[in-house]
Amino acid sequence: MPSLNAPNASPPTPAVRLSGVSKSYGGIKALRDVSFEVRGGEIRALLGENGAGKSTVLKVLCGVVSPDEGSIEVGGSVAPRLTPSLARELGIAMIFQDGSLVPQMTVAQNIFLTREKRGPLGMIDDRIAEQEAATLFGQLGVAIDPSLPVSALSAGQRQLTEIVKAIAKNARVLILDEPSTALTDHEIEHLFTFLRRLKEEGVAIIYVSHRMSEIFRIADSATIMRDGQLVETAPIAGMSMEAMIEKIVGRKGRGLFDIPKQSGQLGEVLLDLRSVSTSKLTDVSLSARAGEVVGVAGLTASGRSALARALFGIEPIKTGSVVIGGKTFAKLYPDTAIENGLMLVPEDRLLQGVFPEHSIADNITLPSLPKLTKWSWLPREPVLRIAREQAANLRIKASDLSAPIRTLSGGNQQKAVLGKWLALAPRILVLDEPTAGIDIGSKSEIVALLRSLASAGRAVLVISSEIPELLAVSDRIVIMHEGRLVRSVDRENLNPQDQTDNAATLEFAERKLNNLIQEAAQAAEVLQ
Ligand SMILES: Nc1ncnc2c1ncn2[C@@H]1O[C@H](COP(=O)(O)OP(=O)(O)OP(=O)(O)O)[C@@H](O)[C@H]1O
C-alpha cells in the first residue's frame, strides 16, 4: 500500500515511460514508434479513434503483449521482458470493467485475496481483514461496508473496491479503460473524487474514454494517438473541445450538432405501448411515429433497458399491450417482434452479437442473408456490398473485410454489430446505448444515420446515457424513473429562447435535460 501520508511531491522519475514502442499483428501496424511518459500524481487521458492503438498500449504496459521494438521503464528502471505478473509486481494495475472480484466473497476477503489476514494462531481471520479494509476505505474516503458480499455492491462500488484492491497491493500506476460505461452519474462523481484522492497520493493514472466531457473534468493531460502513432501529449488546460476532437480524428470533425434535423411530416404511429407493465416497468405508455426519433433518458436502472427488453419480447409483459405496425400484442417474443419489423440493438451486443472467428463481412451481413439468399444459393457480391456500405458509413477501421472480426479493435467490433442491424433498415429500430465504446469522430456519423433512417419513414427509439447524443438525435425525449415514464419533452423546448451559437445552445439544452432527469428522480411524479 502506498504511504498515504507521504508528502505530495511528484517523484523525480516518471512512473512509467514507453520509448519507441512498435507492435504489428501480421501486416497490421498497431503501434509505430510510440513514446510517452506518465508521472506519479498525474491523470493522463489516452485518446484516439477506434483502432488508434490505445488498447495495444495498455496491453504492452500490463505485459499482456510484448512489443516488437522499444522499451518500457517502470519507476525509472527498464523492464526488459514485462509479463503480466511482473507488471503487477512493479505496481501496474489495470482495472477491468467486468472485474476480477469474486461475487460470493466479502469486500474485505476480495481485497486481501491470496494475502489473507491471519490471527495469532495463524488462522484466517476475516475480522482483521474487515478492520484493515475499513481503515483503508477510511483513508481513501470510500464509504463501503467491507463485510458485505461483493454481489450486494452496485457497479460503481465494485469498481471502487477493485481499485482499492489494487492500491492495497501497492499499485503505483492505475489503468482504467472506459471505467464509466456501467456507472450512474452519481457513481462517476464518486469515482472522480476517488481518483483525485489517489492522484494526491502520487499514483499515476491512465484513463481511456471516448466521453470527451469526462476527459475535461478529470484529466490533467492527454496523449492523443492516431493510426498507431502518437499525435501529441499536451496539458488539458487551455485545450478546447474542438481542438481536441480535431487532433483525435485528424481533420475538422462534424460535430453532433452539425447534423441537420429535417423535421418532415410525421407519419402513422408505428409503435404504441399501452399501459405496459412488466416485472421492471409500471404502466408505461409511449408511441413513436414514422419519421420520428424518440430518445429515452433516465438514470441507470430507471427502466430504460427494461423498456427495450419488453419491446423485443425478452421480458414478459404482465398487463397492457404493444401495437407494432397496427397489430396489437398482449404477449411479445423476439421472433414476433422481428416478423413485425421491430429490431433491438442491445446494450451488451458484443456478448450477444459477435462470431469472433467469422469474417467482418459475414458478421455484418448475417441477419440480411435471408433477404439475399435465392434457392439456397448465396451470391457473394451483395454480401460484400452490404458489408462495404456499412463499413464506410460507420467508418470501420479494417484493412480487409474478410479478416476475422476478432482482429478489429473493440470499438470497431461495436460498429460492425451496429452495422448489421442498420443494414436491415427495419421499420422500427430500438437501440440501447448505440454509441457505447464508439469514438467521438463516429458518433456524429451514427446520429446522422439514425436521422436518415427516420427521414426514410422509420420509427427510431434511442436509449442513451449520453445527454449530448440524445439531444442531437431525438425529436422528442422521454424520461424514465423507477420503471415509470415520468416525462416527455419536445427536443425544441430544450433550446434557449434567444438564438445563440451551437456550443451555447448545447450547453443550455444539456443543463435543462439534466435538471429534468434529476427532478424526475426527486419528484418521481407520474405524468400520463
Ligand atoms: N489480435 C489482433 N489481431 C490483429 N489485429 C489486431 C489485434 N488486436 C488489435 N489489432 C489491430 O490493431 C489496431 C489497434 O487496435 P487497438 O485495439 O489497440 O485500438 P484502440 O485504440 O484500443 O481502439 P478502441 O477504441 O476501438 O478500443 C487495430 O487496427 C486493430 O484492428
E strand segments, 299-381 = 319-324, 327-329, 342-345
Domain range for 304 is 266-341+426-528
Say if ligand 1 is within 6 A of residue 415 CB. no
pLDDT one-digit tens code per residue, 421-459:
888 888 999 999 888 888 888 888 888 889 988 998 999
Residue nearest to atom 10 of ligand 1 (CA): 407
Q: Are 247 and 231 in contact (CB under 8 A)?
A: yes
CA-CA-CA-CA dihedral for 178, 183, 188, 191, to nearest 10: -80
Contacts of 194 (CB under 8 A, 6+ apart): 140, 141, 142, 160, 163
Mean pLDDT (the chain, rounded): 85
Q: Read out DSSP for 441-452?
A: HHHHHHHHHHHH
- Does residue 357 sit in the same domain as residue 227? no
Q: Which atom of ligand 1 is nearest to the CA of 411?
A: 26
- Residue 375 has what pLDDT? 59
H/E stretch holding 432: strand 428-432
- Whether ipTM > 0.95 holds is yes
H/E stretch holding 71: strand 69-74
Count the neighbouring beta carbons within 10 Å of the beta carbon of residue 168.
17
Say if ligand 1 is within 6 A of residue 435 CB. no
Burial class (CB in 10 A: 0-12, 13-18, 19+), 235: exposed
In a domain, 73, yes or no: yes
The answer to which of 82-91, 306-315, 343-352 has the lowest mean pLDDT is: 343-352
- Does residue 441 sit in the same domain as residue 509? yes
Alpha-helical segments (H) within 141-259:
155-168, 185-200, 212-218, 241-249
- Does residue 113 sit in the same domain as residue 249? no
Structural domain count of the chain: 4
Rounded CA gap, 297 and 359, in Å?
35
In a domain, 110, yes or no: yes
Q: Checking phi first, is residue 121 left (phi over 0); if not, alpha (psi -120 to 50) or beta? A: alpha
In a domain, 37, yes or no: yes
- Does residue 74 sit in the same domain as residue 205? yes
In a domain, 8, yes or no: no
Say if ligand 1 is within 6 A of residue 54 CB. yes
Rounded CA gap, 435 and 485, in Å?
23
Contacts of 29 (CB under 8 A, 6+ apart): 22, 23, 228
CATH of the domain at 26: 3.40.50.300
- Does residue 360 sit in the same domain as residue 434? no
Using pLDDT thresholds of 50, 70 and 90, give the confidence band for residue 54: very high
- Does residue 163 sit in the same domain as residue 296? no
- Residue 97 has what pLDDT? 63
Q: How many angstroms separate the alpha carbon of residue 159 from the centre of ligand 1?
A: 25
- Does residue 214 sit in the same domain as residue 71? yes
H/E stretch holding 382: helix 380-393
- Does residue 433 sit in the same domain as residue 519? yes
Q: Are 106 and 117 in contact (CB under 8 A)?
A: no
Say if ligand 1 is within 6 A of residue 55 CB. yes
- Does residue 395 sit in the same domain as residue 440? no
Range among 26-30, 441-445, 496-500 with highest mean pLDDT value: 26-30
Q: How many angstroms separate the alpha carbon of residue 407 from the centre of ligand 1?
A: 7
- Does residue 336 sit in the same domain as residue 436? yes
Q: Which residue has the higher pLDDT, 214 or 96?
A: 214
Of the candidates 145, 159, 150, 163, which has an alpha carbon nearest to the alpha carbon of residue 110?
150
The last residue of a domain, from among 119, 144, 170: 170
- Residue 122 has what pLDDT? 66
Residue nearest to atom 8 of ligand 1 (CA): 407
- Does residue 108 sit in the same domain as residue 45? no
- Residue 259 has what pLDDT? 60
- Does residue 430 sit in the same domain as residue 526? yes
Average confidence (pLDDT) over 322-329: 93
Q: Which three cell numbers mark 355?
A: 462470431
In a domain, 258, yes or no: no
In a domain, 214, yes or no: yes
Residue nearest to atom 24 of ligand 1 (CA): 50
Q: How many angstroms separate the alpha carbon of residue 46 from the centre of ligand 1?
A: 14
In a domain, 32, yes or no: yes
Q: How many angstroms separate the alpha carbon of residue 412 from the centre of ligand 1?
A: 8
Of the candidates 489, 518, 508, which has an alpha carbon nearest to the alpha carbon of residue 294?
489
3-state secondary structure of 66: coil
pLDDT one-digit tens code per residue, 175-195:
998 888 777 777 788 889 889
Share of the chain above pLDDT 70, in %: 88
The last residue of a domain, from among 424, 457, 489: 424
The last residue of a domain, from among 170, 201, 217: 170
Average confidence (pLDDT) over 251-275: 75
Q: 0.90 exceeded by the pTM?
A: no
- Residue 273 has what pLDDT? 95
In a domain, 12, yes or no: no
Average confidence (pLDDT) over 271-295: 95
The answer to which of 65-79, 299-313, 371-385 has the lowest mean pLDDT is: 371-385
